Amino acid sequence: MHSDIAIVGAGLGGLMLARVLHVNGMTASIYEAEAAPTARRQGGLLDIHVGTGQLAIQAAGLHGDFLRLVRPGEDAKRIVDAHGTVLHDHAGDPASSRPEVDRGALREMLIRSLPDGTIRWGRKVAALTPLGSGRHGIRFADGSADTTDLLVGADGAWSKVRRLLTDARPLDTGMCLVEIELAADDPRNAASLAAIGSGTMIAVAPGRGILAHRNADGGASGYVALRQTEDGISDVRILDPDSCLRMIAKRFEGWSPDLVAFIANSVAEPVFRPIHALPADLRWLRRAGVTLVGDAAHLMSPFAGEGANLALLDGAELGRSIAANPDHEAALAMYEEALFPRSNPIAALSARNLGDFFGTEAPRSVVDLFRTSERGCR
């Protein structure tokens, strides 16, 4: 089997690339390890920015569909301390330039926008082999294989495609996120849900935090943040879910009961997500026939709110560059020339913000961060 353009990974960046190629009359094959689009939960809300994510969505011809996904006013942000005292309360703006959408709904929109057969589900990459002249062979875990003239890694943090371009590996930041969820119909959760406000609540202290946002059904989803080196995460992870949540809750002794309830009453499987990041100044030398988009290119912490936006823009910009240049190498060179100066400063900002969220000055440092950001958006 042969593909002119093979995209490894059906995340936001890979899907956007395939969509922009499609609207420009070109085809691509997406190979995704997961068995189906619903194989795992897709995370919570994303704020989609005008100059990055929304620009990409417009290039994909999907802006009208995107607007139907927007959850008006849910860009509200409330920052509280460990005792639940409100330190900053930013009301939601129905006309916000950074509207919130559900990540799963956004991904579903992109999947539906592609021709049937574009995505090959259940195709986990086992090996990649350079064949010369920019061509690559792809061998899959199920025994099937493909060759391609242009290989794009949209395969996330632990990208196999990245290994063709650089020895850089994601570094552990020391922080870990654990998924939490509160059910809307559990009366024990009423005070905790009210504490969120109308959008997202951020409760942080040095080395730990609870972050939660409203769901469409009135419940809430989010994360507990812990510093791995201080909190014995490796011991907690081997416990059954209920015991795991009880042990995590103990690490928040002295916090407001309404905040601790986000952990104690959580109905989510406590999935641990260590926060890793690539070097903020990462670049690679041009290599024929291969490039990267999204987290594969610039993995960063989520505390600048730019990862998904950059992934969408990467996919759109690469798609437009390929469509405009019959010579693949010219297209890749043009794309990468803009990629590094666009993503490197944001990766550095994300690293600084991670320090502000969980450093010694939290939560005051987070209040200052949001107030500065809000002034800049006016």
266-312: per-residue pLDDT in tens?
A: 999 888 889 999 999 999 999 999 999 999 999 999 999 899 999 99
Q: What is the pLDDT of residues 208-243, one digit of tens each?
A: 999 999 888 889 999 999 998 765 565 566 567 788
Distance CA 45, CA 316 (A): 21
Of 4-8, 29-33, 118-122, 196-200, minimum mean pLDDT range? 196-200
HEC letters along 129-182 = EEEECCEEEEEECCCCEEEEEEEEECCCCCCCHHHHCCCCCCEEEEEEEEEEEE
Q: Kindly tell me if the per-residue pLDDT of 73 is higher than 90.
A: no
- ∠ CA 231-233-238, rounded to 5°: 145
CA distance 49 to 46: 9
Q: How far apart are CA 109 and CA 12, in angstroms?
A: 10
What percentage of the chain carries pLDDT values higher than 90? 79
| CA distance linking residue 62 with residue 48, whole number of Å | 13
What would the two tokens of residue 257 be?
């009961």
* Entry pTM: 0.93
Give the integer Cα–Cα distance in Å for 156 and 150: 18
3-class SS at 273?
Answer: strand
Q: Which domains does the chain have, with CATH numbers?
A: 2-71+97-170+278-360 (3.50.50.60), 171-276 (3.30.9.30)
Question: For residue 233, what pLDDT is reported?
Answer: 60
Which residues, 6 or more positions from 69, have their beta carbon under 8 angstroms from its beta carbon?
Answer: 101, 102, 105, 106, 109
Q: Please report the pLDDT score of residue 377 as a whole number.
A: 47
pLDDT at 168: 97
Interval 230-278: pLDDT, tens: 655 655 665 677 888 988 999 999 999 999 999 999 999 888 889 999 9
